[in-house]
Amino acid sequence: MKMIQAITQSHTEAGTHVPLLIQNILKGVFERDSMVQLWIAEEVIDGEATERLEDKGYICLQILLSQGYIEQSGLLKGDDHLKYKVSEYYANRGSLVDDFLIINKDGFSNISRMPLHLSLPAERFDCQIPNIIQMCQRLRTLLLLGECKYLVKQVPRDLFLSLNLLRTLVLSGTQVSEVPSSVGHLEDLRYFDLSGTLIRELPGVLCDLVSLQTLKLRDCFRFIALPKGMKKLINLRHLDLDIVRQLSYMPKSMGRLVNLQTFKGFIVGTDEECAIGELCRLNNITGSFCISCLENVLNVEEAKMADLKSKSYITKLVLRWEECINAEAEQEILECLLPHPNLSELQIQFFSGSALPSWMSDPSFTMLINITLYKCINCSFLPRIGNLLSLKILRIFGMDKVIDIDCMFCCNPQGSSYLLSFPSLEELIIENMSQLEKWTLIGTDDLPCLRHLSIRNCPRLVELPSMSSLYSLKYLELNSFYELEWLPDMPASLETLIIQDCQKLQEQCRKGEGRDWPKFAHVPNIWIQHRQISPISSL
C-alpha cells in the first residue's frame, strides 16, 4: 500500500505502514521539499492525475511529524531551510533487511546482499566512490551521506553501466566536478542531487533520462550552463538552481516542461525559442520566480503570452531589466505582466519607464505583503498603493526622479472605499533618492501599524512630515541628509532614534541644548554619529 494512502486512511495505525525506506535509509537530515521529492521518486506517494503529489507529500509529512516518526532537526549552519530527520526511536527500531543497507563499521562486507537501497557514509572510502557498488545491480537508491562528503572528488566513469535500475542518486556536498557519460544508462533515474558540488556543466546524455523528476544544482557556484536538450525532460518537476545568478542564458524550448514546479527564474533571450512566451504553459511554477533580461521582450503581444496571471502558485515575483533599450516600450510591457492575485511579494528592478504599472494598486492583491522597487530611475512619483490591505513591507531604492513625496503617496486610488492608507504597513525604507527634497504630509489616520522607518542617503532632503500620529513607530533612522536642518515632532512610542551623517541637523539635536532635543528627549535609545546619547531622564 502506498504510504500516503495508508497514513491518511488511518492516522492511529500509521506506524505499521511507515516503509523501511524511511526507517533505514533516510537517516540523514533532509529539507522538507527534498524528503517529499525522494518519496515521490520511490513511488511511496501516488495520486490522481489532477493532484499535486507534493501537496499530498506535505500532508503525509505533517502526519508523521505529529505522530513522532519524523522530527525537526533545526537549521543547518548558513542555511535558512528547516531540516527533518527520522526520529531516533524509529530509526533504530527497523531491522536491516536485504533490501536496505547502510555501510557502517562493517565496511563493504555485506554488499553482496544485493540491496535495493544503499547509504554510503563518505568516511568509509577515499576520494573516489568505490567500484564495488557495481555489484548492486538491483540498486534503486544510492545516497552519499556523512560529514566527510567533501572528500569525495570523483565518480568512476563506468559506475552507472550496471546500475540501470537506479532511481535516486544523491552526490550533494562532494567535490565531484564531472558527471560521467555513463549516467545516460540510468533510464529510470527520478531524483539526482548534485547540490554544492564543483560541477561546471552536465553531459548532454542527461537529457535522455526522460523519467527524471528532480534535478538539484543549488550552490554549484561553478555551474555555467544547462544542457541544450533540456526540453526533452518532459517529466521534470523540480529544477533547483539559482537560474539568474548561475546562468547567462536559457536552453531553447523550456516551455515544453509543463510539469515544472521548482523553477527559480527565466532569462529572456532574443531567439524565438527563448522568448518570454515560453512561460505560457508553465502554470505549475511554485514559490519564488524571477524574470530577467526583460529588455529582450519585443512588444506587448509577447509580454501577454507569458500569461503571468494564470500562475497561481507563484508567491514571489521579481521583474528585472539588465539595460534600457526603449523606456516607453518598457512601460507598456510591464503593464502587461500582471501577476496572479495570490502573490505575496513583488520586486521590480532597473525599470526605466516613467510610471509604475496601474495593476500595483489593484485591491485584489489581498495577499501582497512585501514590495521592493529598485532603481526605477525614470519614475517621478511613488505608486499609489495605500489601499493594499495586507502590505507590511515597502522598500524603495534609487528612484532618482522623485522630488516630492506629497499627500498623493498616502492617498488611495480614485474610487477606493478605504479611509486610511497603508493599514498594515510595518516597515518602510526609502534609500538613495538623489533628487528627493521633501516629504510633506502624513494623514492623521495613515500608517497606523508602522513600526520601522528608515530614510537613508537622500542628500537634498530638507523637509520631513510630522510623525506624531505614527502611534506604532518604534524605530527611526535618518542617514546622510546634507540639507535637513530640523526634525519633525516624534511619537511617544519611539524607542530607537538613529541620526547619522546629517551635518546641519546634528547641531539642533545636541543633548539638552539643541532646538530639536525636546522632540525626542523621551526616546530611550538615541544614537547620533555613532555615539549613544543617554536621555535626560537617566541622569
> What pLDDT is recorded for position 139?
87
pLDDT tens-digit map of 108-152: 555 555 666 677 665 556 666 766 677 777 888 888 877 777 888
Nearest to 214 by CA among 62, 35, 59: 35
Give whichever of 159-163, 205-209, 508-512 has the largest mean pLDDT. 205-209
| Contact status, residue 322 vs residue 350, Cβ threshold 8 Å | yes
pLDDT band at 42 (very low <50, low <70, confident <90, very high): confident
In this model, does residue 489 exceed pLDDT 80? yes
Q: What residues contact residue 278 under an 8 Å CB cut-off, 6+ apart?
A: 250, 253, 254, 255, 266
The C-alpha torsion from 364 through 369 and 374 to 377, rounded to 10°, is 40
Cell of 214: 528532480
Q: List strands edge to edge, sheet with 100-102.
A: 100-102, 117-121, 141-145, 168-170, 191-193, 214-216, 238-240, 262-263
Least confident of 67-76, 327-336, 375-384, 465-474: 67-76
Q: Give the residue-averaged pLDDT of 209-218.
A: 98
> What pLDDT is recorded for position 112?
53
> What pLDDT is recorded for position 23?
47
Nearest to 253 by CA among 274, 226, 282, 271: 274
Alpha helix ranges (H) inside 215-326: 243-246, 300-305
In this model, does residue 285 exceed pLDDT 80? yes
Alpha helix ranges (H) inside 30-154: 32-41, 53-66, 88-91
What is the chain's mean pLDDT, rounded? 86
Least confident of 222-231, 427-436, 482-491, 527-536: 527-536
pLDDT tens-digit map of 338-348: 999 999 999 99
Is pTM, for the whole model, over 0.85? yes
For residue 315, give the H/E element and its range.
Answer: strand 314-320
CA–CA separation, 314 vs 343, rounded Å?
6
Q: List strands edge to edge, sheet with 475-479.
A: 265-267, 287-292, 314-320, 345-349, 370-374, 393-397, 427-431, 452-456, 475-479, 496-500, 525-528, 531-533
| Contact status, residue 432 vs residue 415, Cβ threshold 8 Å | no
In this model, does residue 6 exceed pLDDT 90? no
Q: What share of the chain is helix, strand, coil (3-state, %, to 5)?
A: 25, 20, 55
Q: What's the number of CA atoms in the CB half-sphere (13 Å) around residue 134?
A: 13
More confident residue, 17 or 228: 228
End-to-end CA distance of the chain: 73
pLDDT tens-digit map of 307-331: 999 999 999 999 999 998 888 999 9
Cell of 352: 526605466
> What pLDDT is recorded for position 136?
77
> What pLDDT is recorded for position 229?
97
> What pLDDT is recorded for position 45?
79
C-alpha 38: how far from its chain's center?
21
> What pLDDT is recorded for position 538?
45
Contacts of the segment 326-329: beta carbons below 8 A, 24+ positions apart: 326/295, 327/352, 327/353, 327/354, 327/378, 328/353, 329/299
> What pLDDT is recorded for position 28?
64
More confident residue, 26 or 436: 436
| CA separation, residue 287 to residues 76, 92, 313, 450, 477 (Å) | 21, 35, 6, 27, 32
Least confident of 152-156, 169-173, 246-250, 498-502: 152-156
Q: What's the number of CA atoms in the CB half-sphere (13 Å) around residue 131?
A: 4
CA–CA separation, 507 vs 145, rounded Å?
61
CA–CA separation, 75 vs 78, rounded Å?
8
More confident residue, 69 or 54: 54
| Contact status, residue 94 vs residue 23, Cβ threshold 8 Å | yes
pLDDT band at 13 (very low <50, low <70, confident <90, very high): very low
